[in-house]
Amino acid sequence: MAKELALIVDDNEVNRKLLEYVLGADGFDVCMASNADEASQVIATLRPHVVLMDLQLPGTSGFDLTKRLKADPQTRDIVIIAVTSYAMMGDEQKARAAGCDGYLSKPIDVKTFAQDVRDMLDAGPTNAPSSD
């Protein structure tokens, strides 16, 4: 069975390396991007199964990249999970309105993170961006 490919999109190198380690230890193949442009290139080339999306990115935000990916028939079936320090009331709803299929807040729980990602990946894409 092929391993799931996870793309980590985060502008913080420490966060990327932590998520890479946790997911890699759980059997995921992992690739990384530090901004929306890099992520778009990786997605076009490698077609990951799941994208772990920081919402606060330099330039194009994770919200905007998610909306773009979910609006495109070529990428709308990729599971996108917001992994963000946005953890105020209403932030999960904003992420889901942008098209995120799941939401995990930072700091992550390293004991449960990979299983949480697998559970959301198994559930498949569940969201599309709202039209507002």
CATH code at position 52: 3.40.50.2300
What's the pTM value of the predicted model, to 2 decimals? 0.92
Does 130 map to a domain? no
d(CA 14, CA 122): 27
Residue 74 covered by a domain: yes
125, 76 in Cβ contact below 8 A?
yes
What is the predicted pLDDT for the residue at 1?
46
Band of residue 132 on the pLDDT scale cut at 50, 70, 90? very low
Within 10 Å of residue 43's Cβ, how many Cβ atoms? 21
Q: What is the structure's pLDDT at 79?
A: 98
pLDDT of 130 > 90? The answer is no
Residue 10 vs residue 1, higher pLDDT: 10
Number of domains into which the chain is organized: 1
Question: At residue 55, what is the residue type?
Answer: L
